[in-house]
Structure 1
Amino acid sequence: MNTPEATPLQQLLRKLRQFEIRIRQAVDAQLQGDFHSVFKGTGLEFDDVRLYQYGDEVRAIDWAVSSKGHGTFVKTYKEEREQQVLLLLDVSASQRVGAEGRRKLDVGREICGILALTAARQSAQLGILAFSNQKELYMPPGKGIRHAYALIKSLFDLEPRSPSTAVAAGIKQALGLLKRRTVVVLISDFIDTAYERELTMLARKHDLVVVQLLDRREREFPSLGIVPLHDQETNRTVWVNTSSATFRARYRATYEQNREQISQICRRHRTEFLSITTDADYLPQLVNLFRRRNQRGNRG
């Protein structure tokens, strides 16, 4: 009896499940604990007050209650019970750079798929907003494995309508949609300008993780002589001498400047930042990210 050949979507899901297992095993091995707080946020909500004890921080004192003369009281907090996660994915034309099956967009989709499956197993609410210079796909946060599979299929089937990029506009859309503190995973190559103000607002209001996707072709352009180069986002074609030292230096400088710009912004706002190249195994970087979040959560 012949076994029917798996569809592309089934192959993708199988691959994502294998990735998820690798991550869970690696995190469990390093933490010697449960893989339970990948999406643990930093948001806390007020719970109650109790009498001050030696060692409590002064800034935790509730002066309004303490002023009533019954003793010194401090505020206590509890972790937000149900974590909400939003994947914010750039699907503009510059994300299609890379080898077949390993384009920036392919890697971005894989990362979203892994996080969706992980969220489903942690009972976290997870949604997605895919953007170019407009909203291309939005699925509000939901729970469960069916929701995760539906999200992955929608993202896999997505054919963006616009080739252009507007990171600032994508962030504005997300800010308008989010009504409570959320873990936001922003995935883009950040080949754009004038998005720092919006990124700053996102970092201040939410628990932000920034993932920059890069392809080695963007750093070292092959020496091909005089060739036509087509910009997919502007639909313009220009002839350039790719063997020229001036062109190659300018090309490399643009790449490094783009990479350093987003890195500096994230450092300034103490935001988690990953720089991932399409030809590398990115799973160890995700494991390190999850480990840091686990350790931060365990420290309270």
Structure 2
Amino acid sequence: MEQKLPPFATGVQLCLKELLHYKSHTVHWQPPSKSIWSQLNGSHQSHQKGRGMNFSEVRQYQAGDDIRSIDWRVTARTGKAHTKLFIEEREQPVILYLDLSRSMRFGSQLLFKSVQCAHLASLLSWLTVEQKDRIGALIDMGDRLIELKPTARQQGALHISHQLVQLNNEAIQQLQEQNTSKTHIELPFNHALQTLHRMCPKGSDIIFISDFQRLTEKSKPLLNQLRQHNRMQFVHIFDPLEMGNTHFRGSEYVTNGQQTRWLNFGLKNTRQQLENRYMMHLNQLNKICKNMAIPIRSLSCAELLLTQLGAHSSPSISPSGDLS
């Protein structure tokens, strides 16, 4: 059964109404009954996880104070016992890594991968606003990085949506105007990781939304640095054609930004080679995540986002691409 596009969507270009549509759907994941983390990870996560205690002030010790909170330096200097006071850290920044690079500007059925990425980014942004946390983003265009610092309230979510619409549509227009045989130079994935390490406050939730085509074993040291002080999550966006899953049986001139060639989709061997390459990439991605204890979830750009996240009673997609 052919799926209908989400409201206001074309599947290729983006508009603000299309992204604001997800603001009304945050009610599906409001705590304490549900959370978006439970949908992405497959298990319930506490809304307060990752928050700690921030130092507030030092005052003179009073009866009943916890002796473990005594500030011994001030006590020694003044000759009187003083204790440290702490307040609970309520605000937790959420930083989205949003991949709009060349490999994401592709889709064979319903949406471009970049469009599905933007849809999920909008939903996560509005969920963060509802939970009264700051939301920021690093948008990776492949050849440049756009930093959006964590901002509280609706301003942060709206800024991200506006940037996604503008940057995606400009990239699509350039893609249509460029000669497909022209080589395209992109920044290594490590450049994005270095930028995230600099821009993310400690204790952030960092959610990567990408097809991870540029992720390699060489990225593990930088990923480990980020993971030491932050909570991380990978969301892998894929298209069925990448697995050789298509009803098209003709020949097509295709490019990945680096190489161009004719592919005959009528040949079983062609489709099998695509599937083998996809599984090799997916296995490498899963191996990195398993070794580093990074949760990962795969989402197809050929199905509606809300269906896959469980907002509707429809089957979801597992990281292997199978229905579950």
Structure 2 length-normalised TM: 0.66
Write out aligned runs for 1:187-202 (5 A): 187-194=209-216, 195-202=219-226
Q: CA deviation at 1:285?
A: 5.8
Q: Corresponding residue for 2:192? A: 170
Q: Corresponding residue for 2:276? A: 253
Q: CA deviation at 1:44?
A: 2.9
Q: CA deviation at 1:114?
A: 1.1
CA 77–278 in structure 1, closer or farther in 2 if over 3 Å, else same: farther
| Contact kept in structure 1, 2:145 and 2:192, CA below 8 Å | no
1:82 corresponds, among 91, 97, 116, to 91
* Deviations 1:97-129 (CA, angstroms, capped at 9, x unpaired): 215762111111011111111222222111110
Q: Corresponding residue for 1:22? A: 28
Q: CA deviation at 1:90?
A: 1.0
- Higher alpha-carbon deviation: 241-250 or 89-98: 241-250
1:148 corresponds, among 143, 157, 167, to 157
* Percent of matched pairs sharing the same residue: 18
**Cα RMSD (Å):** 3.7
| Contact kept in structure 2, 1:214 and 1:275, CA below 8 Å | yes
Structure 1 length-normalised TM: 0.71
Q: CA deviation at 1:183?
A: 0.7
User: What is the alpha-carbon distance in structure 2 between the residues aligned to residue 273 and residue 186 of structure 1?
Assistant: 9
CA 101–163 in structure 1, closer or farther in 2 if over 3 Å, else same: farther
Number of aligned pairs?
258
| Contact kept in structure 2, 1:41 and 1:183, CA below 8 Å | no
User: What is the alpha-carbon distance in structure 1 between the residues aligned to residue 205 and residue 288 of structure 2?
Assistant: 18
* Deviations 1:25-62 (CA, angstroms, capped at 9, x unpaired): xx66558xxxxx8864425347699469xxxxxxxxx9
Unaligned runs of 5+ in 1: 1-5, 32-36, 53-61, 66-75, 289-300
Q: CA deviation at 1:130?
A: 0.6
Q: Corresponding residue for 2:240? A: 216
Letter in 1 for 2:130: R
Write out aligned runs for 1:227-246 (5 A): 227-234=251-258, 236-246=259-269
User: What is the alpha-carbon distance in structure 1 between the residues aligned to residue 294 and residue 277 of structure 2?
Assistant: 23
| Contact kept in structure 1, 2:144 and 2:187, CA below 8 Å | no
- Whether 1:280 and 2:286 are equivalent positions in the alignment is no
Q: Residue 280 of structure 2: SS of its match in structure 1?
A: helix
Letter in 1 for 2:231: D
CA 244–264 in structure 1, closer or farther in 2 if over 3 Å, else same: same
| Contact kept in structure 1, 2:51 and 2:92, CA below 8 Å | no
Q: CA deviation at 1:245?
A: 3.9
| Contact kept in structure 1, 2:239 and 2:300, CA below 8 Å | yes
| Contact kept in structure 1, 2:240 and 2:246, CA below 8 Å | no
